[in-house]
Structure 1
Amino acid sequence: MREPRMLSDFTKNNLDKQGFGSLDEDAKACYAWPLRFTPGVGTVLIVVGLTLQSPTFLGLGAIVPLSGVLFPRGMILDLVYNLGVRHLFHGPALPPTPTPRRFSYLLSTVLLTGSALSFYYGLSTLGFILGGAVALGGLMLTTTHWCLGSWIYRFLFRHSAARS
C-alpha cells in the first residue's frame, strides 16, 4: 500500500483558492504535481513568444488560455496532458478547471492578446510588460500553486468564491 503524499498547508490553501476546495486531501496530493503541467508549459511558450517578439506566436498562444475559459474539461494543454503525458508517467487525469482558475485564464488571454497587439504595433515595451506579467504569474502558479488570477477572482466575486 502506498503512503499518502503530504502537502503543506500553503499548497493545500493555494489549491483551495483556485477552486479545488471540494477535493479531499489525498486527491489534492495526487493532483498537486500534474496541475503544474499546464502553467509550466504555457509559461515556456509565452517566454518563447516574448523572446521572438512575435505577435503571431503570442496571438496564437492566447488561444491556449482562452480554451481553458471556454472549456473547463478541454483546455488545450490539459488535453495534451490527459491524452498523452499522463500515460507516460502513470498519472491521474486532471479534474475540470474550476471557476477561479478559469478567471485567471481569462486574464491571461486578455494580457497575451494585448502583448501580441503591442508587438504588432511596435510597442515592444508594453508587449514585454503584458506578456511578462503572464509569464511571471505562470511561473508563480507552476512553482507554488499560488494563482494571482484566482486571488483577483476571489477579491472581485467574494460571494461566488465562498461557494466554490
Structure 2
Amino acid sequence: MNIKLVVVGKLKEKYFAAAIAEYQKRLSRFCKVKMIEVRDEKAPESLSSAEMEQVQAKEGDRILAKVSEREYVFALAINGTERTSEAFAQQIKDLTTYGHSDLTFIIGGSLGLAPAVLKRADDQLSFGKFTLPHQLMRVVLCEQIYRAFMINSNSPYHK
C-alpha cells in the first residue's frame, strides 16, 4: 500500500518535521509514505476574489500534476465530512480491500483548495471547523493515518 501526502508549501519548523518523520517511521511497517511539497504562491493579505482564485488555481495545477488517475484522493477541506478515527480506519480498510492501494491526501495552501482539486478528489475529509496551521495539519493527518492502521491491526495504541 502507498500513502502520498501532497501539500502546499515548505515545512520550516524542525519540531513538526521531527513529528512527521516519527509517524512516517511508524507507518513504514504498514505502507510506504511519501510527502510531496508543491510551491505555494505569494499571497499578500489583501487580495481580491479574482486574485484569490488565481492563487488557488496555480497551486491547484501544481497539486494535480502530482496526482495520477489511479489514486484514491482525499482532499482536506473544512466543508468535508468529519469522521471518527474508527470510521476513518474502516474506510481505509474498505478502500484497500476493494483495490485502492494508492491513497493520496491533499492539504492546500492558506487560501484553501482550488475547485479543480476538490472536483478531482474522491472524498473530502474535514478535521472540524477549526483553522489549523498547514504545517500542524500535516502532523495531525500523519497521526490519524497511523492511528487508522493501528485500529485496523487491533492495537491498543488508539485507546
User: Above 0.5 in TM-score?
Assistant: no
TM-score by length of structure 2 reads 0.32
The structure that is helix-richer by fraction is 1
TM-score by length of structure 1 reads 0.31
